[in-house]
Copies of this chain bind each other. A is one copy, B any other.
Amino acid sequence: MLIEFKNGVCISARAAVAGKKEADGPLGNCFDEVCFDDYFGCENWENAESEMIKRTICHLMHKAEVKAEDIQLFAGGDLCNQITSTSFGINGFPFPFLGLYNACATMAESLLVCGMAVDGGFVKNAAASSSSHFCTAERQYRTPLGYGGKRTPTAQWTVTGCGCFFVEKKGGGAYMQNGYIGSVVDMGIVDATNMGAAMAPAAAKTISDYLKATNTKAEDYDAIYTGDLGQIGSSLLKEILLKENIDLKNHRDCGDIVYSREQNVQAGGSGAGCSAVVLASHILPKVERGEEKNILFVATGALLSHSSALQGESIPSVAHLVKISHWKEREDK
């Protein structure tokens, strides 16, 4: 479903906090804070992820020059059961809270929800957030870390990171002109260690539907970023779209940007924090500087749980899209 922001919605501030492995990657110098301790000084990984979210919010408030009580809406989520990392992360902050869950598509989902709330005039501003932590995700979805399970070549590495964005009507930098809410796509993939393959068809559908709805072509955009398809999912995405005569030459995947291939991350990065930190520390800076004037940000989510995987279910997936443009593009309208 194409969501048109009548007035455009600015992303006037952005913040990202990440972990050690992310700091060792190509974006290492671009985060607002790096924590070299997986525990972020806490007793357990779940609290660590909450602490990471709290710190990201603090960076965001500092950069947006707002106090917590001035934030009119906070919408976000993470991968932990019942999105407790987010609920505990914002515990103590006074903002109104809408908890979201679309797995690794949550970053685009939260930007869309905040965008509608701001553009519709319901709130003056909103903060959109998404996060993941390697250790909470491994323990929850896969095996205990101490078990030292061998990873398959199709597996992806969950990013330890949180991205937060301040969304309001005015402000320079980057703005959201429209977006697309995707629907659930399920091609019957059951391998929970190959989520790129599960998510690629959802990404393809959302991109294809969006191009049709806006009567535009892939090459009209400086870049089309997917969330965390990884190398296998990215190849599949291109293959699927090529059958529809969409040649995705300007495609990049956040899971391929956040780590270098030498980092032993199998098929690339993933996690609800993957697209979030890459958007905050790599994509938006490019758009703000005008290096890329119009981009599509397509976050993809694999809607499985540990139980559904054990029960042998397939992996339904979803992809949401946000068009982000340099603020000068706004005047051209």
Which of A275-333 touch B at CB < 8 Å? 303-308, 311, 313, 316, 318
A98 to B183, CA, bound (A): 9
Which of A57-104 touch B at CB < 8 Å? 72-73, 77, 79-84, 87-88, 90-103
A311 to B79, CA, bound (A): 18
Q: Does A1 contact B (CB under 8 A)?
A: yes
Q: Does A248 contact B (CB under 8 A)?
A: no
B307 touches A84 (CB 8 A): yes
- Output the nearest chain B residue to A109 by Cβ-Cβ distance: B98
Q: Interface readout for A105-136 with B: 1 if CB under 8 Å, 0 if not? A: 00001001100110111110000000000000
Which of A144-192 touch B at CB < 8 Å? 181-184, 186
Q: Does A30 contact B (CB under 8 A)?
A: no
Q: Does A249 contact B (CB under 8 A)?
A: no
A11: min CB distance to chain B, Å: 18
B305 touches A183 (CB 8 A): no
Residues of B contacting A95 in the complex (Cβ-Cβ under 8 angstroms)? 183
Asked whether A82 and B84 contact (CB < 8 A) given A91-B184, A117-B116, the answer is no
Q: Does A3 contact B (CB under 8 A)?
A: yes
The contact of A102 among B98, B305, B313, by CB within 8 Å, is B98
B99 touches A1 (CB 8 A): no
Residues of B contacting A46 in the complex (Cβ-Cβ under 8 angstroms)? 307-308, 311
A98 touches B96 (CB 8 A): no
A60 to B81, CA, bound (A): 29
A109 touches B120 (CB 8 A): no
Residues of B contacting A99 in the complex (Cβ-Cβ under 8 angstroms)? 100-102, 109, 303, 318
The contact of A81 among B6, B82, B96, by CB within 8 Å, is B82
Residues of B contacting A186 in the complex (Cβ-Cβ under 8 angstroms)? 91-92
Q: Does A138 contact B (CB under 8 A)?
A: no
A308 touches B88 (CB 8 A): yes
- Output the nearest chain B residue to A79 by Cβ-Cβ distance: B82
Residues of B contacting A306 in the complex (Cβ-Cβ under 8 angstroms)? 81
Residues of B contacting A102 in the complex (Cβ-Cβ under 8 angstroms)? 97-99
A136 to B184, CA, bound (A): 22
Which of A225-269 touch B at CB < 8 Å? none
Residues of B contacting A47 in the complex (Cβ-Cβ under 8 angstroms)? 311
Q: Does A44 contact B (CB under 8 A)?
A: yes
7 further contact pairs, Cβ within 8 A, besides A6-B121, A97-B184, A98-B100? A77-B101, A81-B306, A82-B103, A96-B181, A99-B109, A116-B122, A119-B120
CB pairs A–B below 8 angstroms (25 shown)? A3-B122, A44-B311, A46-B311, A77-B101, A80-B307, A82-B103, A82-B304, A83-B101, A84-B303, A87-B316, A88-B303, A90-B184, A91-B184, A93-B184, A94-B183, A95-B183, A98-B112, A99-B303, A100-B101, A101-B101, A113-B113, A116-B117, A116-B120, A119-B120, A120-B120
